[in-house]
Amino acid sequence: MELVKEKWTGKVHEVIIGATGAEGGTRTAVVRAGGETTMPFYDFEGGMPNRPVLAMEVLDKIPDEPSESLKKVFGDVWGDPGEWARKCVEEFGAEMISVQLLSAHPDEGDTDEKHAVETVRKVLKAVGVPLIIRAPGVAEKDNLIIPAASQAAAGERVLLGSAVQDNYKTIVASALADGHCIITESPIDINIAKQVNILVTDMGFPTDRIVMDPTTGGLGYGLEYTFSIMERARLAALGGDTVLAQPFISYIGQESWRAKETKAENEEWGDIEKRAPLWEAVGAISMLQAGSDILVLRHPHALKIVRQMLDELMGK
């Protein structure tokens, strides 16, 4: 019986993040995301030239009400983003570090631009992998924090986030000025995702420096809705819609560790030390199959499980 194959006309843009010394930066390597000409892992129909990237998340403050499982791993480095990042890279093999400037949020400390700059410089000095830098997600603060953080990392070609429908001009201007890539974020809505990409490119921002964040739902908390939106967007991209032909980033760790299943002791649910990272890993593997090109994780055991699964899926 002959295998029926889909013939795609489109291709996902390849985005290069990080700049080495030869390119004017200080990173020891770059990462390449995207470039697919087929649906995830359908290597019999097309190509996946770049393996999905596994990043780990670092916060610029000690988490409020942290999971005991995460505390056992990172409790010794919380409060020092540089050392936290170093541990993620040197001990657990993170391929990127996502720096969340959470303390700038008005409800999380309301720190200023100087604090953001210090954090970014600490992490840049501590590790050589490419960075993702995220502002707190409040328009008034983002418009102050993003330019400062962007300038502190000028020339490093970081992935800067996030441009949203109602607040995108500052981040686009900063990324253009300092040579960065950006994340375009939408609330699990394919039409808004497309609109944000249009708004950003209308300002002259190149399509090969955009990564889409469709917003990730955690396992049991809306993940299937995210999956369907990502799948629709990727089908459209492969069908020739160049506006949606961007790599995806998924903040699965952030969403997973909000769930009660990763925090609550419950004998009927099993050992939380196994359950919590497994909850994150299952969500991450689901996002891989939806088309995610960059996964941002928190627990090293989840990272290990996902890496092993990727080895199998990529035929290593």
Reported as half-sphere exposure (CB side, CA atoms, 13 A), residue 125 has a value of 11
Residue 316 has pLDDT above 70, yes or no: no
Percentage above 90 pLDDT, the chain: 81
pLDDT score recorded for residue 67: 80
Structural tokens at position 248: 């995806």
CA-to-CA separations, 110 to 56, 82, 103, in angstroms, rounded: 24, 20, 6
Q: Between these two residues, 58 and 266, which has the higher pLDDT value?
A: 58
Q: What tens digit of pLDDT does each residue of 124-176 get?
A: 999 999 999 999 999 999 999 999 999 999 999 999 989 999 999 999 999 99
- What is the distance between the alpha carbons of residues 277 and 303, in angstroms, rounded to a whole number? 9
pLDDT score recorded for residue 260: 86
- Statement: the pTM of the whole predicted model exceeds 0.75: yes
Query: Which range among 99-113, 167-181, 266-280 shows the weakest confidence by mean pLDDT?
Result: 266-280
Is residue 31 within 8 A of residue 53, CB to CB? The reply is: yes
Q: What tens digit of pLDDT does each residue of 39-95 get?
A: 999 998 999 999 999 999 999 988 776 788 888 999 899 889 999 999 999 999 999
pLDDT score recorded for residue 263: 83
- Owner of token pair 């960065």: 180
Mean pLDDT of 239-262: 93
**Domains in the chain, CATH or no CATH each:** 19-313 (3.20.20.20)
Residue 259 has pLDDT above 90, yes or no: no
Mean pLDDT of 4-21: 94
